[in-house]
Structure 1
Amino acid sequence: MSELKLRTATRTQGDNEALKTGDVRPDGFRFDFVEVPVLVQGFRRMVRTLEFDVCEMALTTYQYNVDLSRITWVLSGDEHVEASRPPDNVVPIEPGSSLEELLRRGDLAAVIGADIDAPDVVPLIPDSAEAGL
């Protein structure tokens, strides 16, 4: 009997690296890892075409004790679920722009997940890893 293979998309990080390298192996099945260079594209492939048996997903895109109705969210890409229509306070990014650029220009007050090395840009949530735990 052949071993079950689960087509899997996830980024390599501390908590799954041993599974991806094969240092840790599950019993009765194996992961068939697919490299997805931009993980958000993997999310979309998962929910739109069910391409993977296992896929990391971002389930907490818009949260942290804020009144969401008072925020205009700017999408850096399209929604993961193709049929999803965002609420009126969610708008697409300006063509040719990046979230980091809009933040630096002062067009955005805050950005989630931006990688910016600038003295005037500071985390909104101090020690966010600890706050998340």
Structure 2
Amino acid sequence: MEKLRLRTVLGNHPHIQAVKDGELRSELFDLDFTEFTPTNAAFKPMVREQAFDVCEMAIVTYLMARAHGKPLVLLPAAMVGRFQHGHALYRADRGALAPADLEGKRVGIRSFTTTTGAWMRGILANDYGVNLDSIDWVTFEDPHIAEYVDRTERAPKSSTIIQMLKDGELDAVLGETSSDPALKPLFADPAGEAARWYARHGVVPVNHLVVVTERLATSRPDVVRSLYELLKRGKARAGPSGVPDLVPFGVEANRRPLELMIDYCVQQALIPRRVAVDELFDDTIRDLN
């Protein structure tokens, strides 16, 4: 029998490089990779058209897709995880700006539904008491989910987020980093703040996991399980990612990040109701570790 060829989009992450290079393979299928730069450019066609069989996907995009009935199945295989406190900037020459000062300000973000944005807003609201509704949000891209109604102000088409910040048209931006000395991190000690946040919550802020089409999961659950095991072997080949593990694998390892992100998404009206983590996985996936 001819092996399945799975149309696949995964970023160039060290912990799956052996899979992408073809050093590790499955007897059941081959992965036919399509490259997107940045990887998040693949999320919209995957959500709207199921353009691939396997695709890396941001947690918030998946949660919103699920809320709108998109036929996608989640795998507990983290592709990207990072602490978020270093991904917020303001212009240094306009005076010091702290998280509490964002109320009443104009804050830019690539899209209101980005996962980094949801993590950052959740941190601002729940750890720093910021009233998110008091901020004037300015966005640059449409949401991946067509059904979501974005009520934020849209930046002019020719503009870029960092340039608008430097020009003083924005007071701060989320989801961005820069080596420009004119720009400062919103959190004065991002690494220290991240360490304290982790000590308080015990959660690794996972950004991207992996999804497959419902069609594949239903017709070939053996292939989906084999895919997960292949990615897991890739991670084992690469060795530890650090302490804590920023790319956890398994339902239990991802439970707390998913629970917290679900809470944040409900608070921010990105999804209509709180869902249990176990609802996110089908019977094929639920016991993966």
Shorter-chain TM range is: 0.7 to 0.9
Q: 108, 111, 122: which is aligned to 2:173?
A: 111
Residue 36 of structure 1 is matched in structure 2 by 36
Q: In structure 2, how many angstroms separate the alpha carbons of the residues matched to 1:44 and 1:95?
A: 19
More helix by share: 2
| Structure 1 residues 112 and 8, CA gap change in structure 2 (3 angstroms) | farther
| C-alpha distance after superposition, 1:53-109 (max 9, x if no partner) | 1111222242332243233332221111122212x3x22222210011011122223
Highest relative contact order (Cα 8 Å, sep 6+), 1 or 2?
2
Q: 77, 80, 85: which is aligned to 2:149?
A: 85
Which is higher, the Rg of structure 1 or of structure 2?
2
Query: Which one is further off, 122-131 or 103-112?
Result: 122-131
Q: In structure 1, how many angstroms separate the alpha carbons of the residues matched to 2:50 and 2:184?
A: 38
- Identical-residue share of aligned pairs (%): 34
TM-score (norm 1): 0.80
Map 1:4-15 onto structure 2 (within 5 A). 4-15=4-15
Structure 2 residue runs without a partner (length 5+): 61-114, 126-130, 199-204, 206-245, 247-289
More strand by share: 2
- When the two chains are superposed, the root-mean-square deviation of aligned CA atoms in Å is 2.4
Task: Please identify runs of 4+ aligned residues in structure 1 that moved more than 6 A.
Answer: none
Q: CA shift at 1:34, angstroms?
A: 0.7
1:46 touches 1:52 (CA, 8 Å); kept in 2?
yes
Structure 1 residue runs without a partner (length 5+): none
1:74 touches 1:92 (CA, 8 Å); kept in 2?
yes
| Structure 1 residues 71 and 57, CA gap change in structure 2 (3 angstroms) | farther
Secondary structure of the residue that 2:172 maps to in structure 1? Answer: coil
Give aligned pairs, total: 131
Q: In structure 2, how many angstroms separate the alpha carbons of the residues matched to 1:20 and 1:48?
A: 25
